[in-house]
Structure 1
Amino acid sequence: MVVIYGVLRSRVTRPVWLMRELGQPFELVPVMQAYRLEHPQAADAPFNTASPDFLTLNPAGQIPVMVDGDLVLTESMAIPFYLAKKFGGPLAPASAEEEAEALQWAFAAITGIEGPALDMLQVIQFKRTDTEEGQAVLAKAQQQLARPLSRLEGHLAEHDFLVGDRFTVADILMAECVRYVQAHAPAMEPYPAIRTWLGRCQSRPAFRDMMEERAAEPL
């Protein structure tokens, strides 16, 4: 059975959402981020990314990690592609061309959107939106997002989904990066097609159930 290590308040949502969509059994082993703990290496600390046993799986000390037999994968973009290909079905690329398109959108999400979107999200989460520094970060992030989001908007203005006119792994990976932008409504306002597409993705039962479980996790 596939084993995924991590918690849902992280990029673990990417492979977990995919597995829920696939309806495949898997085990989710809770691993908390070490930075969330005061003493992550204490004897009574919960299993976390600085725990010696976890570091044998991923010496980089990051989640998610997936184990499938002898295979260990450690990147949140690579894991869903592997799982989609392993289990097949409509979420997986149906051809070399679709795989290339899906990879294109995944790379666009991780290189062009995730970084500034996370900068934006952190300003909001740490309640710095009313500070001069926070406003500067939000403005810069929104400027950095303009080009990749405009490209995505153009595609989604003509297509319901990213690849093959159906919901695929590419939509999961892109949606989970764009979700960070949702925290700042002004950054989403110029992109009606993205908002419609994101609502379509996030209305899926697998996503809603996952996010309910995420909300129940410890802060």
Structure 2
Amino acid sequence: MTLKIYGIGTSRAARPLWTALELGVPFEHIAMPYAGGATRTPEFLAINPNGHIPAVVDERPEGRVTVWESMACALYIARVHGRPDGQSITPANPREEAEALRWSFWTVTDLESDALTVLMHRMAMPPDQRKPELADRAESRLKVPLAVLEAHLQAQHAKGEAFLAANRFTVADVCVASVASWIRPAAGLLAQYPVVSGWLHACVERAAHKQARAMK
């Protein structure tokens, strides 16, 4: 195998894992947790000096390519290992490429921080460590980006397109849904955005997503 993906499915590594699985790309999964010091060894720091997962190492005829940052990993795999044939999750034209790029960057800047706060303080942390007031404030802030996402998906539906970039699931949906799924513990909030809720359900129910999340 020429492609290696470092990380576990319950981390941001789910994004490149999900992308590769959707594409049917052969890869070696290096199961590396984010806790316990595994990402701080000299061997891993030589791959990602930031000491974070995921990381992707692609052994290519022209030489080794190393990618880190989860969105970059997913976008790289889709672009380099996918086919722009209008059938796969790889963007097939400049418009789809632009959608994948802008929504992925938007997700990191406008959605991820507050979505993670909701996940941690509504579900992931032990009950005695949760701070509901932090989740409340995060949910209030999330109303702005969720309204933006709702409007975009409504416009897509008006054009006969069910997903973010096209009338098919693409890497744009992988990148955004992988973060938007963290908001699911705030069921009341998501209920205010029915188009987002329906789109998100369709994304996370995909077999490749479930397989990626189960990789340990």
Give the deviation of 1:97 after TM superposition: 2.3
Q: Which runs of 5+ in 2 are unaligned?
A: none
Residues 163-195 of structure 1: per-residue CA shift (max 9 Å, x gap)? 022110000000001011012212212111111
Whole-angstrom CA distance in 1 between matches of 2:135 and 2:101: 28
Could you list the structure 1 runs, at least 4 aligned residues long, displaced by more than 3 angstroms after superposition.
none
Q: Which among 134, 137, 141 is matched to residue 137 of structure 1?
A: 134
1:56 to 46, 60, 69: 46
DSSP-derived class of the 2:66 partner: strand
Quote the residue 1:207 is aligned against. 209
| Other structure's SS at 1:106 match | helix
Residues 125-184 of structure 1, C-alpha deviations (whole Å, 9 max, x = no match): 2245x88x8222112101211111101011222431000221100000000010110122
Q: Deviations over 1:46-70 (max 9, x none)?
A: xx11112111111100000000021
Residues 37-94 of structure 1, C-alpha deviations (whole Å, 9 max, x = no match): 3xx3xxxxxxx11112111111100000000021000111111111111122431111
Partner of 2:69: 75
Give the drift of 1:200.
1.0
Q: Read off the aligned partner of 1:162 and give its amino acid letter.
A: L
Aligned partners of 2:146 and 2:193 also within 8 Å = yes
Instruction: Please give the secondary structure, in 1, of the residue aligned with 2:192.
Output: coil
User: Where does residue 167 of structure 2 map in the other structure?
Assistant: 165
Corresponding residue for residue 2 of structure 1? 3
1:153 pairs with one of 150, 153, 156: 150
Query: How large is the Cα RMSD of the aligned pairs?
Result: 1.7
SS in 2 for 1:3: strand
1:175 paired residue number: 177
State the alpha-carbon separation in 1 of the partners of residues 133 and 115 from structure 2. 14
Gaps of 5+ in 1: 41-47
Q: CA deviation at 1:96?
A: 1.9
Residue number in structure 1 paired with 2:198: 196
Q: 1:44 corresponds to which residue?
A: none
| Distance (whole Å) between structure 2 residues aligned to residue 135 and residue 205 of structure 1 | 32
* Matching of residue 84 in structure 1 with residue 97 in structure 2: no
Match of 1:26 in 2: 27
TM-score by structure 1 length?
A: 0.86
SS in 2 for 1:115: helix
TM-score for the superposition, normalised by structure 2: 0.87
Cα drift, residue 3 of structure 1:
0.4
How far 1:27 moved relative to its partner? 0.4
| Matches of 1:100 and 1:194, distance apart in 2 | 20
Name the SS of the counterpart of 1:119 in structure 2: helix
